[in-house]
A and B are shown apart, each in its own frame.
Chain A
Amino acid sequence: MDTSTHDGPAEHPTAADALAAIDAQQQRTTTALRPSPLGMFLPWGLGYLVGFGGVWLAIRGVLPDAVVTVLLVVAAIVPLASTGITVARSTHGLAGPTKRIGALYGWAWLLGFAALFAINIRVGFLGVPGPTLSLIWSGSALLVVGLLYLAGGALWNHVPQYVLGVWTLATGVLSVFVGYPANFAVLALAGGGGFIVLGLWLHAKSRR
């Protein structure tokens, strides 16, 4: 492939070596600055599986309520922490528009969920029957999540994330249509499964 000779000192590489060094270095840089899909998606998948799966099992009387409460807290905190750490580590030392886009997007999650909690808790106080309220939470929460992944996919031109958004919207709709308490099984298996498959697939792809 390389027909030129190494006639210069080491710091003056051949054209082929220079191109290879550029490609390797740029590959390394983009990989390092991009949050790892394992840290971003897998913990959420496991969180959905364990948290919503736990609620489903509790409703069926398989798990005691106290255990499920603990599971739910862990299933929310661990993925949140993992996402924060993954983003902080990958974008550490980076400044400029990319960092700002990420920060604004992160705030969109926080604001979206703050509004969601305010609305649904208020609706709950108005005396909606428990099973109906459960479906309101399922559908509305996954609507917010799905739309934010659509936005993320659009922002970063990242089709897999966009597909996750579509999958999440479909999961939310399905969960409402199957009704209570099967909505929790849908959230656990389809919701959690989507994150897990995407995380593992993106991870395998990045290692190839």
Chain B
Amino acid sequence: MSTDQTPVGLDPVIHAQARLRVTATLAALSPDDRLTFPRLQQLLDMTAGNLSTHLRKLEDAGYVEVTKAHERRTSVTYAALTPAGRRAFEQYRESLRGLLG
């Protein structure tokens, strides 16, 4: 393989162990549903710092939308897949299946 570790055709934003798990989790939600940061963290067994880093990369690519809401005087952070993120994830999964033949 070349210097790039990502096989041709695989979305480099999603194709990393941590980010494909984050994306898969959010893609398992119904469209328009969102999950709080702590619950997402719990479902992924990731540290807060680690999850933040990967969410930011997904957010920068336009795949994830992070919103803050104020509920009962506390700030709650929600994460959700954007329509573009959902499409990218489906395409990524198709590419993986294609690679396996």
On whether the beta carbons of A12 and B25 are closer than 8 Å, the reply is no
On whether the beta carbons of B24 and A21 are closer than 8 Å, the reply is yes
Q: Give A22 to B100 CA distance when docked, in angstroms.
A: 15
Name the interface size band of chain B: 35 or more
As a 0/1 sequence over residues 19 to 61 of chain A, the CB contacts with chain B under 8 angstroms (1 = contact) are 1011001101110110000000000000000000000000000
Contact of B17 among A10, A92, A97 (CB under 8 A): A10
On whether the beta carbons of A93 and B38 are closer than 8 Å, the reply is yes
On whether the beta carbons of A11 and B21 are closer than 8 Å, the reply is no
On whether the beta carbons of A12 and B32 are closer than 8 Å, the reply is no
Most-contacted residue by chain B among A19, A26, A29 (CB, 10 A): A29
Residues of A within 8 A of B99 (CB): 4, 15
Name the interface size band of chain A: 20 to 34
Chain B residues numbered 24-70 whose CB sits less than 8 Å from any CB in chain A: 24-25, 27-36, 38-40, 42-44
Closest to B27 in A: A26
Residues of B within 8 A of A129 (CB): none
Beyond the given pairs A15-B96, A15-B100, A29-B25, 6 more chain A to chain B contacts, judged by CB atoms under 8 angstroms and listed by A's residue number, are A8-B1, A25-B44, A26-B28, A29-B24, A30-B28, A94-B29
Contact of B5 among A8, A15, A28 (CB under 8 A): A8
**Cβ of B20 under 8 Å from chain A:** yes
18 A-B residue pairs with CB within 8 Å: A8-B1, A12-B6, A13-B20, A15-B100, A18-B17, A19-B93, A25-B25, A30-B28, A32-B43, A33-B28, A93-B40, A94-B36, A94-B39, A96-B29, A96-B30, A96-B32, A96-B34, A98-B33
Interface of A is mostly: helix
Contact of B18 among A11, A26, A28, A99 (CB under 8 A): A11
Name the distance in Å between B6's Cβ and chain A's nearest Cβ. 6
Q: Give A25 to B1 CA distance when docked, in angstroms.
A: 28
Name the distance in Å between A96's Cβ and chain B's nearest Cβ. 4
Q: List chain A positions with a Cβ less than 8 A from chain B.
A: 4, 7-13, 15-16, 18-19, 21-22, 25-26, 28-30, 32-33, 92-99
Q: Give A10 to B5 CA distance when docked, in angstroms.
A: 11
On whether the beta carbons of B16 and A29 are closer than 8 Å, the reply is no
Name the distance in Å between B32's Cβ and chain A's nearest Cβ. 5
Given A7-B1, A15-B99, A28-B43, A94:B33 Cβ within 8 A: yes
Name the distance in Å between B13's Cβ and chain A's nearest Cβ. 12
